[in-house]
Amino acid sequence: MYNNNSKFILEERNDEFQFGKNKSNISIKFNRVAFIFFIFFFISLIYSIHLIHLGSRKSDIKIINQYKVTNQIKRADIIDRNGTFLAKTVSSIDIGINPVEIIDQKKLILNLKYIFPNKNYDLVKLNIKKNKFFWFEKKISEENYEKLMKLGDKSIKSEEKLRRIYPQKNLFSHIIGQIDDDNIGISGLEKSLDKELKINDTSVRLSVDKDIQFLIREELLKYNEIFRTLGSAAVLMNVNNGEIISIVSLPDFDPNERNTITDINYINRATKGVYELGSVFKTFTLAAALNEGTVEPETEFKNLKKSIRCGKNTISEYDNKIPSDLTAEQILIRSGNIGSVRIGQSVGLNDYKIFLNDLNLINPINFDIEEVGVPVSFSWGKCKLATVSYGHGITTTILQLTNAYSIIANGGYQINPTLIKVNRNLKRERVIKKDVSNKIIPILRKIVTTKEGTASLANVEGYEIGGKTGTAQKSTIGGYSRNKINTFVSIFPISKPKYSLVVMLDEPKINSEYIYHYRDGSGIKYKGTPFNTAGWTSVEVAGQIIEKIGPILATKYLQIN
């Protein structure tokens, strides 16, 4: 019994032992299968994720492989006041060649020569030899693109791009500006309106007129050659709302070429250049005196000296023939220096400074582009009051000068110069008394119409032009050079002022062969420039400009905007 029990127990243990051994083998086999399954599952998972990722990029890869990357430039168009395109985003196609995919090089070159006969194919062959992708032709025509696609050559790759183009080329370069390759505005309105141009779907309408801009630029180019200037500028403004109809600065550039411009001669002379402008400031001196009530146009100034001392400096009359007894009106007409000093002294330093500040002449002016000059600061004193009274020792920009004369012409209302078309009624604030305009405007007319005036060459029949000349030596370190800035500011028509036009010539020279035609109906001609002054240079240019643009202004802009 014991033995039997013992055998039973042994066999049971043996069975248990045998069972345990079988379980272990099964477990080991299962773990190996599970491990192998896990490895395959992990690899499959990674592979699946990679496939999903590649699938999501499939279109991009295809585009890249085909060199059809589209350079999206979401940028609103810029148009002039009449809807003419000044800056526009258009689609274009660039063609490249991938040498790796060329099957028959001779055949390819032969076909390309047929479509593009003027290419340098020695250079093309050299690029093919490098065995790297290269651009063959950019911005091709639709006709040539169609011819290339008909070749069916896989090595030819096309890339469609959106490009910023400037249809008027140089005409508006200084105000429209440029963008860089990353679609970021770097100058002009392209820079100052960069964010607005990127988010707007509608065109940005400017106040400028392409036709008038063209005519003014043509005259400036012509007279830059005649008077051999370093450069020139002109601004035409609506005196009632500050809209700029034309603004030209020469030399200019073609923004389509996207060149980096470092030559200082390409500065925007109309807005960025800061100059001493001479006798055009005498109008402000008389206007300040009229505003303060210290003089009237008929106020007499007797025993005016030919020169006076102020500190270490001597202030002299530019023309010794100017009479010693003059009224305030005659002082401005004859552009007297000493008389202007006396008028300025009657105003006083503080009041004159405030007056110039109200006209936005001595501080930077707010404008639509960032290229705006900063007038040179100075310390006021008795001698500075004297020199500023006749336009010496004070600087400003052509834009600010145009704006200040516009305020004087429009009845004394503050306006802000703008390149953007004004589509609303402006709430204007009067900054100088209305009667100042009424008294100054007739005097500016006499400067053009009388023998004593300095601007008779601008007396274009039918346009009632008034204005003031300014001839100033260019300042240098430690003094002044013989080079000049000649300026003429015109207002027209005087009976109901609508426009102010400023013409500035930078370093003009006399021309012994140029023939002047007087516009007084006498038929008198005069050969050769007798003096290098604004009356013989800038005035002549302004007269020629107004003759050209006058008919357009009369027909297009019958209403005061």
Note the pLDDT tens digit of each residue in 11-39: 444 444 344 444 455 555 556 666 666 67
Domain that holds residue 117: 78-99+106-121+135-205
Q: Which residue in 351, 321, 384, 3 sits closest to 376, CA to CA? A: 384
Using the 3D structure, point to which of 156, 175, 205 is the last residue of a domain: 205
Answer yes or no: do 191 and 314 share one domain. Answer: no
Whether 167 and 111 map to the same domain: the answer is: yes
If asked whether residues 372 and 497 sit together in one domain, one would say yes
**Residue 284 is assigned to a structural domain of this protein:** yes
| φ, ψ dihedrals at 260, nearest 5° | -80, 120
Same domain, residue pair 190 and 338: no
Tokens in use for 173? 């370069």
3-state secondary structure of 151: helix
The whole-angstrom separation of Cα 139 and Cα 158 is: 10
Largest CA distance in the chain: 162
* 3-state SS track over 178-197: CECCCCCECCHHHHHCHHHH
229 and 296 together in one domain:
yes
Q: Are residues 546 and 432 in the same domain?
A: yes
Beta-strand runs (E) in 243-329: 244-250, 275-276, 300-301, 307-310, 313-316, 326-327
Region at 402 (left for phi over 0; alpha for psi -120 to 50; beta for the rest): alpha
CATH of the domain at 433: 3.40.710.10
Asked, for residue 174, whether it belongs to a domain, the answer is: yes
Q: Report residue 394 CA to chain centroid gap.
A: 25
Contact assessment for residue 488 and residue 296, using Cβ atoms and an 8 Å cutoff: no
Judge if 201 and 216 occupy the same domain. Answer: no
Asked if residue 260 is part of any domain, the answer here is: yes
Structure-block tokens of residue 443: 């005097």
Q: Are residues 232 and 292 in the same domain?
A: yes
Residue 57: predicted pLDDT: 46
57 occurs within a structural domain: no
Domain count, the chain: 2
Residue whose C-alpha is closest to residue 137's, from 113, 168, 165, 106: 113
Q: Which burial class, exposed, middle or buried, applies to 395 when counting CB atoms under 10 A from its CB (0-12, 13-18, 19+)?
A: buried
In the prediction, which pLDDT does 371 show?
A: 96
- Provide the whole-model pTM: 0.81
SS3 category, 269: coil
Q: Are residues 227 and 186 in the same domain?
A: no
- Note whether 466 and 521 are same-domain residues: yes
Q: Do the domain assignments include residue 48?
A: no
Question: pLDDT (tens digit, 9 = 90+) per residue, 228-242?
Answer: 999 999 999 999 999
> Does 293 lie in the same domain as 165?
no
pLDDT of residue 48: 66
Question: For 407-431, how does the pLDDT look when each residue is reduced to its tens digit (9 = 90+)?
Answer: 999 999 999 999 999 776 777 899 9
Position 55 in a domain: no
- CATH code, domain carrying 186: 3.90.1310.10
Angstrom distance (rounded) from CA 327 to CA 318: 18
* 126 domain residue, yes or no: no
Does one domain contain both 218 and 318?
A: yes
